[in-house]
Structure 1
Amino acid sequence: MSQARFLIRRSLQGLLVVWGVITLVFLLRFITPGSPVDFVAPLDASPELRAQIAINLGLHQPIYVQYFDYLFGLVRGDMGFSYIRGRPASGIILSRLPATIELAVAATIVAIIFSIPLGVLSATRRHEPTDYAATTFSLVGISTPNFWLGIMLILIVSVGLGILPTSRRPIGLIPALEMLIFQLQISGIRTWIAHMILPAVTLGTYFTAMIVRLTRSGMLDELGQPYVKAARAKGLPETLVTYKHALRNTMIPIITVLGLQLGSLIGGAVITEFVFNWPGLGTLVIDAIVVRDWPIIQGALIVIGIGFVVINIAVDALYTKLNPRVSYE
């Protein structure tokens, strides 16, 4: 099977998954106690006013009519209207999405920079102090809750030492890059980096610890394979054997976990965003749940689901690039 046919097939499968996510998210509103009318109508609203609000929200129609109207609206890019905020839900969600993507990608970069070298060193220096230090770090990193780590970093680094800011980014990455490119000012990118470090480290610590363990176990398995012994017998440098051959064959499970965890970071950065008052999807969903702003809740969950599907398709496409023995079948 060619790569194009594979991507088309996986895209069709992804569309089915997205459709399932949309259906579940839509039904979630009907199985959750309470009504959106309760949060839109005044406390002293009359039954007539409540009925009119229900009509404006489309809640008076049968559930199947609401479902197909919602599907057709999504096809047009319409996620509904947030009566709580007085704005279309799609605009609100898309305005918050870049902050979450920036945080998730930054946390992933932090994890890759530290985890893979630590995992390789731990495997090549087995039962040495480096190995013990790496495995101890991975154990501590996996066991440490994100919210506690974030609070400790704020107290020590920001409040105690006064090195980095505590919360909320005043500028996004794109505006900072525009200032750098068009105005030759580094203040924007410097501010963005300063506000990004603590949240990225907080969110990426668990991720880093997990990849360290995965890299170490994969490298130990690959370093014992016959092709590694043959490469060493040919006199190839140990660095070439370790990084070009053994690490390359270890990367497939690592890439899989990286893709899955990147999707998880996009959807699961709620606690970290809350601790650092980060203006992303996580804090938006929390605020929307408190006031039962269903268009925002549904739209954000659908965007997160689409992100998972796209990332998984990209990961599958990378497999054959890393290891030609992997077939598209």
Structure 2
Amino acid sequence: MLQGIVVIWGVVTIMFGLRAVAPGDPANLMLAEGATQELVEQVRREEGLNEPVYVQYFDYVRELITGDFGYSWQSNREVEAMVIERIPATIELTIAATIVALVIAIPLGVISATRRNEPADYSATLFSLLGISTPNFWLGLMLILVFGVWFGIPYPTFGLSWVSLASISIPYPSVGFYDFPTGRRPVGFGEAVLTLVRYGSVYDLLVWLKHIALPALTLGTYFTALITRLTRSGMVDELGKPYVTASRAKGLPSVLVRYKHVLRNTMIPVITVLGLQMGTLMGGAVITETVFNWPGLGLRLIDALGTRDWPLMQGIVVFIAIAFVTINIAVDAVYNYLDPRVSEQ
């Protein structure tokens, strides 16, 4: 916990330092072009920009501790509100990318470890190498070009519609086909779930899945390759240990030994990387969100960077740091569950 506080303080300090040494007068950035010098001086006095840098720093830290992130220089809105409204989209993308990575990577790692020096092992290794080596921005552009522009590959969507017969509403299934989208999502996950619960229609949920499919695949590719290699190496190490030989000698099925015992012990380092990479995915989603116009924190950070909106940039980066620290604390808690020896040490 103490280390996490130090990390957050370091991020706050670095961001404030970058703001202090950045060229340009913040007062001019807050005002429109052609503002009079008197108005500029008034803004500097109101915002405390005439104070020494160390005074501005302590004032900023004190405001952060009280939960005041300030106001955006461009929109004059509270930074907290601008951050909070984009959090759900970023969390959706991060979790979806993580799920994509785990669903693909763990079976590949297990197959690669149990079929060493076979075509399946070579294929998984090649896939890992390509995944780690491929830049996310290039992969995202290629997926848009191939699926959304060149081929426009359709896939079916299903829902429930209602028809009135003799004053009675009767549901009937409806089927449609839609291309992969290249624009911003029209509905979020929460809204889609509410539509499903209230009206029994999965249309909005399928629309959400359609929009998140390519961004999640793009963001999760590097993570998939990393987890595949980590699972393979962990499985290889565990399969050579005496308890595996003893379990097989007792007549336990290979599937039971492989997935209940070996894979569980392999998951400890995987969870370490999972926790670290989920925080990294939140920060690394900046590029993916920009490529796919995904309305998350990353896209808002790029917009703030383009307009030099420092309070908004600082608020987003500080939130990502807090999320990163929180995820690592959660990973430590999962450690204690999977391996009680960790808490004893």
Normalised by the length of structure 2, the TM-score is 0.89
The one-letter amino acid paired with 1:100 is: T
How many angstroms apart in 2 are the aligned matches of 1:264 and 1:285?
Answer: 15
- Larger mean CA deviation between 309-318 and 169-178 belongs to 169-178
Structure showing the higher strand proportion among its residues: 2
Tell me which amino acid in the other structure corresponds to 2:98: T
Q: Which residue of 1 aligns with 2:193?
A: 177
**In 1, Cα distance between equivalents of 2:194 and 2:16:** 39
Query: For residue 25 of structure 1, what is the aligned residue in structure 2?
Result: 15
| Contact 2:98–2:223 (CA under 8 A) maintained in structure 1 | yes
Which range is displaced more, 42-51 or 208-217? 42-51
CA deviation after TM superposition for structure 1 residue 94, in Å: 0.8
Cα offsets for 1:71-96 (capped at 9, x unmatched): 23223322101130121111111111
Partner residue of 2:183 out of 167, 186, 207 = 167
Displacement of 1:136: 0.8
Higher helix share: 1
8 Å contact from structure 2 (residues 29, 73) kept in 1: no
Match of 2:232 among 198, 211, 216: 216
Q: How does 1:309-328 map to 2 (within 5 A)?
A: 309-328=325-344
User: What is the TM-score with the length of structure 1 in the denominator?
Assistant: 0.93
Structure 2 distance, partners of 1:58, 1:101, is: 35
Question: Structure 2: which amino acid aligns with 1:192?
Answer: W
* Count of paired positions: 319
Q: Does 1:233 align with 2:223?
A: no
Q: For residue 214 of structure 2, what is the aligned residue in structure 1?
A: 198
- Can you list the C-alpha shifts for 1:213-267, whole angstroms capped at 9, x where unaligned? 1110111011001111111111110011111111111111100101111000101
Deviation at 1:112, TM superposition (A): 0.4
- Matched with 2:158 is none
Q: Any stretches of 5+ residues in structure 2 without a counterpart? A: 155-179
Alignment of 1:285-304 (within 5 A): 285-304=301-320
Match runs of 1:121-132 below 5 Å: 121-132=111-122
How many angstroms apart in 2 are the aligned matches of 1:257 and 1:167? 32
Q: Give the residue type in structure 2 aligned to 1:36.
A: P
Q: Does the residue aligned with 1:82 lie in a helix, a strand or coil?
A: coil
C-alpha distance in 2 between matches for 1:201 and 1:80: 35
Work out whether 1:106 is the aligned partner of 2:74. no
The residue number in structure 2 matching 1:96 is 86
4+ runs deviating over 6 angstroms: none
Amino acid aligned to 1:325: R
Question: Which structure carries more relative contact order (alpha carbon 8 Å, separation 6+)?
Answer: 1
Unaligned runs of 5+ in 1: 1-10
Of residues 280-289 and 183-192 in structure 1, the stretch that sits farther from structure 2 once superposed is 183-192
Q: How far is the alpha carbon of 1:143 from its aligned partner? A: 1.0
Residue pairs, 1:206-285, within 5 angstroms:
206-285=222-301
Residue deviations 1:85-122 (CA, integer Å, cap 9, x gap) = 12111111111111111101100000000000100000
2:46 to 52, 56, 63: 56
The alignment partner of 2:212 has SS state of: helix
Name 2:159's counterpart in structure 1.
none
Match of 1:45 among 32, 35, 38: 35
Q: Which amino acid aligns with 2:45?
A: I
C-alpha spacing 1:105/1:41, structure 2 compared with 1 (3 Å): same
Q: Show CA shifts across 1:134-177 (max 9, x none).
A: 11111111111111111111111111222311131111111111
